[in-house]
Structures are given as C-alpha cells and as structure tokens.
Amino acid sequence: DGGITQSPKYLFRKEGQNVTLSCEQNLNHDAMYWYRQDPGQGLRLIYYSQIVNDFQKGDIAEGYSVSREKKESFPLTVTSAQKNPTAFYLCATSSWGEAGNTIYFGEGSWLTVV
C-alpha cells in the first residue's frame, strides 16, 4: 500500500532516555515534516526536510534531532533534553499539486514518558 508509515504506534519510555520514532514513505514526496500535538491543541512544527541530507528547524526543535539520509525516511529522535516529551507525534510528507503544497499525514505515534 502507498502511504506514510509511522512506528511504533504507542511507545513508553523512562525519563532521561532517548527514543527514536520512525517515519517511512513510498509516495516519492520530496518534503517530509514532524509535528507535535498536545491534548486539545493544534499541531506545532518540530523539523522539516525538503531534500535528502538537508533539514531545517521548525518552531519547537529544542530537544529533538532528525536525519534525512534517504528520501523515504525521516526519523525523529526525542532526546533527554526535551523537557515535556509526552505527546502525539505526526509525520507528514508533501508534494505540489492542484491543491497547492498539500501535506499528507501518517497515523501518528503516541509517546508517553514516565
């Protein structure tokens, strides 16, 4: 199936541990994004990448790191420096089409830090 695959769906980690969330896409989209969503809130941009081996900080990059070694993959590492990591994380990709730069989302990953 074509689409965006995020894993794991649910993840529990102890405070102080780094954790990596996977995002893989087979849509052949150039741009990929990571968003964070807190309960009752909208989405906030963490990092984005428009081409392989290049990425930029979003609005809330502190405590996070990413890599873009392949077009298909954009993993997000939540480091111990992130003060409030418990949240819902959404990966997205985009391409230009009739609807401008439409962004498509994966199903998300729930991270709980205890």
Partner 1 sequence: AQKITQTQPGMFVQEKEAVTLDCTYDTSDQSYGLFWYKQPSSGEMIFLIYQGSYDEQNATEGRYSLNFQKARKSANLVISASQLGDSAMYFCAIERSGGSNYKLTFGKGTLLTVNP
Residues forming contacts to partner 1 in the complex (CB under 8 A) are: 31, 33, 40-45, 48, 50, 58, 88, 90, 92, 94, 98-108, 110
Q: In angstroms, what is the minimal distance from the CB of 16 to partner 1?
A: 26
Strand partners, 20: 77
110 to 62, 96, 104, 113: CA distances (angstroms): 19, 29, 18, 10
- Across 73-102, b (16+ Cβ under 10 Å) vs e yields ebbbebeeebeebbbebbbbbbeeeeeeee
**With respect to partner 1, which residue has the nearer C-beta, 30 or 80?**
30
Nearer to partner 1, 71 or 80 (CB): 71
CB-nearer residue toward partner 1: 17 or 26: 26
Shortest approach of partner 1 to residue 15 CB, angstroms?
Answer: 24
